Amino acid sequence: MTHIIAARKPNRAARILSAALLTVAFPLTAPAATAKDAKIDYLTAPFHQERLLDWGNRPNWSPDGRRIAFTKDDLVDSPAYEIDLRTKKVRCLTCKFGATQFVTRIFYLPDNSFLIEAAPGMKGGSGGAADAGRTQLFWMSKKLARPVSLNSGAMGDIAIARIPKADGSVDIAWSRPTATGLELTKARLVNDGRTARLADQQALYTYRPGQPGPASFPEAYDFIDGGRSVMFWTTEVATLDSEMYKVDIATKAVSKVYATPSHNETHVFPNERYGLEEANIHSDPDGPYRGISAHIKPGVEQILRFAGKSNAAEIAAANSGKGFDIFVITMDGKSRRALTNVSRSGAQAHQSTASPDGRRIAFAIKDPAGKSGHSAGLYIGTFEGK
């Protein structure tokens, strides 16, 4: 039976994250990988891409790399779908649930069950910026039984450990609203094939608006450092810069991931030596507000107002809507390779995630104005290597 949690009115911290989520959304960590990806030099290996579908967004790889789960869009809740990469056949995973079929995000777990982020009761009405104050976590069995609520609010992406524990449980980390701000939380997701629960929950990082320190809201991305840290995306309000940070699970120490500045959302490849970064480098190579200019105007304006800028509307009008391309980046931040080049013409390549073996990526291309000349839809890209 699905339990429904009452919707919570977004607090100030949720509004900050809502601004950040106006145009970006985040894919999930790939599950356990083979050692093959260690032989790929992602900066030089031949790379080619193909369009799977002329629609679809927010892709996520199955544990065996043979299927991709996805949604219809990243701004409006939709049913969850799955495509078989060999046959190219698409099936709907949640349509049979009628009025409660709508998801914001869907992720495979290592045992082929699913973690779902959705509006209360999976009745829709979330997605995009709205999910900053409304989405909740659900678990669905691999047999596609009716999803079960995990009784937790959620915001944005979710980090999932690549390797399950000996008892079959898996570590996850996510941001959730509190009465005073946001909390980056870690827990074990335990399921018996019929129902699921969150165990051993612990707060890793707490954000309250106005608190000192460079990092603001936490948006979970990946477990890194061999599972000892959780990497999260944030905006440095003082510098108006997007950055990737990490929190040490044992000590709760927070530090930057990259030694170089201005990094947008990054997911690590299975070998953790490279990252898959979505960035506005092509569309805004040297602008004074490149750290936040990927958001649409209302989002940039809201972030600027939180930062105390009296001319926020004027700045946002000239420094917003700069689209993403997808890059491979070394985890020291010093070397980068472009994998797409669509943002200069007004399209956006985003929602990128690496396959379990590290040889492929899945991503989506959107063309909001329909004038870029680039074909929108769901894509996979393949690296050739030994």
- Maximum CA pair distance of the chain? 55
Arithmetic mean of pLDDT, 209-222:
88
* pLDDT range class, residue 134, cuts 50, 70, 90: confident
Q: pLDDT tens across 278-311, in order?
A: 999 999 998 899 888 987 888 788 788 878 899 9
For residues 23-40, give the mean pLDDT. 45
Percent of the chain topping pLDDT 90: 72
What are the pLDDT digits (tens) for 155-168?
999 999 999 999 99
Average pLDDT over residues 236-262: 92
**Per-residue exposure over 132-149, b if at least 16 CB sit within 10 Å of its own CB, e if not:** bbbbbbbbbbeebeebbb
Model pTM score:
0.89
The model's confidence at residue 133, banded by pLDDT at 50, 70 and 90, is low
- Contact, 380 vs 364, CB < 8 A? no
pLDDT range class, residue 235, cuts 50, 70, 90 = confident
Q: What is the pLDDT of residue 129?
A: 47
Kindly report which listed range (252-261, 290-299, 350-359) carries the lowest average pLDDT score: 290-299
| Distance between CA atoms of residues 229 and 173, nearest Å | 10
Q: What is the token pair recorded at 362?
A: 């899945």
pLDDT band at 128 (very low <50, low <70, confident <90, very high): low
Residue type, 262: S
Of residues 99 and 14, which shows the higher confidence score? 99
Q: Rounded CA gap, 27 and 22, in Å? A: 15
* Average pLDDT across the chain, whole number: 88
Top pLDDT among 194 and 32 is at: 194
Q: For residue 30, what pLDDT is reported? A: 36
Reduce the DSSP state of residue 99 to 3 states and report it: helix
Site of tokens 């779908």: 81
Instruction: Round to whole Å and give the CA distance between 30 and 98.
Output: 29
Q: Given a cut of 60, is residue 16 above it in pLDDT? A: no
Residue 52 has pLDDT above 80, yes or no: yes
Residues facing 222 on adjacent strands: 231
Q: Can you tell me whether residue 71 is helix, strand or coil?
A: strand
* Band of pLDDT at residue 109, cut at 50, 70 and 90: very high
Query: Mean pLDDT over residues 314-330, rounded?
Result: 94
Residues 59-105 have pLDDT tens digits of 999 999 999 999 999 999 999 999 999 999 999 999 999 999 999 99
CB under 8 Å to 116, separation ≥6 — which residues?
A: 80, 103, 105, 106, 107, 122, 137, 138, 139, 140, 147
Give the pLDDT of residue 96. Answer: 98
pLDDT of the residue at 26? 33
How far apart CA 103 and CA 207 sit, in angstroms, is 26
Q: pLDDT: is 137 or 237 the higher one?
A: 137
| pLDDT given at position 369 | 84
Asked if pLDDT for residue 20 goes beyond 70, the answer is no
pLDDT higher than 50, residue 35: no
* pLDDT (0 to 100) of residue 261: 84
- 291 compared with 378, residue with greater pLDDT: 378
